Copies of this chain bind each other. A is one copy, B any other.
Amino acid sequence: MGAQATIDGCQYANWSETIFRQMREGAVDAVVATVSYHEDFRQTVANIIAWNRNIERYPDLLMRGRTFGDVDAARASGRTAVFLGLQNPLPIGDDIGLVEILHDLGIRFMQLSYNNQSLLAAGCYEAEDSGITRMGREVIAEMNRVGLVIDMSHSAERSTLEAIELSRRPVAITHANPARWHPAARNKSDAVLKALAARGGIIGLSLYPHHLKGGSHCTLDAFTGMVADLVSYIGLAHVGIGSDLCQDQPDSVIAWMRNGRWTKGATDLGIGKAVLPPQPAWFRDNRDFGTLRDGLLARGFSMEDAAAILGGNWYSFFAQSFGHVPPPSSSSAANTSQ
């Protein structure tokens, strides 16, 4: 059943009943919703509470997603399962104990860094990248143990390669595209994509205009051409969708995503003003997953392969990623001075 599911690996919409209904119109069975960028632990809990309220208020449209089986349950009942993710490790601060706490609260993905250096890894907009830190090594082992997926979407190259190497479980890049198609700082090198796939990981391909060749003017044909190229060199099983839809967000939120509260100035990412660019006409919002499917079929993908890309691969990844797995030996968590 899950092989037919439609799953989006990353969205950060200004959530509303309108959007929840559009998810049903697009038959989106599951979505990974970002619950924090620059929030600390307490603020993150407040954002989880806000999701609990949404789910309580719209029981016919939504349910919480915690296990891969929840995708089936959502699909069977005509709802969307909302899985929760963090784009920044700030909610755990310097406290490794919060990894398990956040997993208990339903968080299933956590980026090791967001654009900047974190306590764990470098971000993709840092001038330098010294890889995974002392604390980062500990946190990777703990995330592996409890079943919190390591997401390297906004991390720097070396940090990403090291995370893939250090992690005992497959890593995700929930929302990005190949840099060889569109060389943005946020898109990923061949080396990263190949290493990710070699260790069983998955990339959610992004529909955010800054990640697209041609930006808002990118054509569906150009996008599916990129998908076909990517599948040819990392394999079908490692490719999904992570639309990075930021639907209905005001420009102030886009500026906040970039600036957080770490600077008193305005952050220039080299990608223009902090305004939400228009979506490509063929992927306005959740209603257009069918258009994406049509595009993949037109590109020559089989129905089965298109379904794998649109959700089946995420389903398989969810199935192996969210459960508790004991560490390989009792001494594995010991850390050493360097």
Give me the interface of A with B, judged by CB distance under 8 Å: 38, 40, 90, 93-97, 116-119, 122, 125-131, 133-136, 138, 142, 260-270, 333-338
Contact B117 A135 (CB under 8 A): yes
Q: A38-B94, A337-B267, A337-B270 are in contact. Are A262 and B119 (CB under 8 A)?
A: yes
With beta carbons under 8 angstroms apart, the residue of B116, B134, B270, B338 that contacts A119 is B116
With beta carbons under 8 angstroms apart, the residue of B40, B117, B269, B333 that contacts A117 is B117
CB distance from A157 to the nearest CB of B (A): 13
A-B contacts, 23 of them at CB < 8 A, read A40-B93, A90-B94, A94-B261, A117-B119, A117-B130, A117-B133, A117-B135, A118-B119, A119-B119, A119-B262, A125-B134, A125-B338, A130-B130, A134-B263, A135-B262, A138-B263, A263-B335, A264-B333, A265-B334, A265-B335, A267-B335, A267-B337, A268-B335
Copies of this chain present in the complex amount to 2
Q: Which of A40, A97, A142, A338 has the most C-beta atoms of chain B within 10 angstroms of its own C-beta?
A: A338
- The distance in angstroms between the C-alpha atoms of A156 and B254, with both chains bound, is 34
Q: Which of A95, A122, A127 has the most C-beta atoms of chain B within 10 angstroms of its own C-beta?
A: A127
Contact A261 B116 (CB under 8 A): no
Contact A262 B122 (CB under 8 A): no
Contact A262 B142 (CB under 8 A): no
Contact B264 A138 (CB under 8 A): yes
- The distance in angstroms between the C-alpha atoms of A142 and B261, with both chains bound, is 13
- Kindly list 14 other residue pairs between chains A and B, CB separation below 8 angstroms, not including A134-B263, A267-B335: A38-B94, A93-B93, A94-B262, A96-B261, A116-B119, A117-B119, A117-B130, A117-B133, A117-B135, A127-B338, A135-B262, A263-B333, A266-B335, A269-B337
**Which residue in chain B gives the minimum CB-CB distance to A128?**
B130
**Which residue in chain B gives the minimum CB-CB distance to A39?**
B94
Contact B130 A122 (CB under 8 A): yes
- The distance in angstroms between the C-alpha atoms of A39 and B335, with both chains bound, is 22
- The distance in angstroms between the C-alpha atoms of A268 and B336, with both chains bound, is 5
A133 contacts which chain B residues (CB < 8 A)?
116-117, 126
**Which residue in chain B gives the minimum CB-CB distance to A118?**
B119
A93 contacts which chain B residues (CB < 8 A)?
40, 90, 93
CB distance from A182 to the nearest CB of B (A): 17
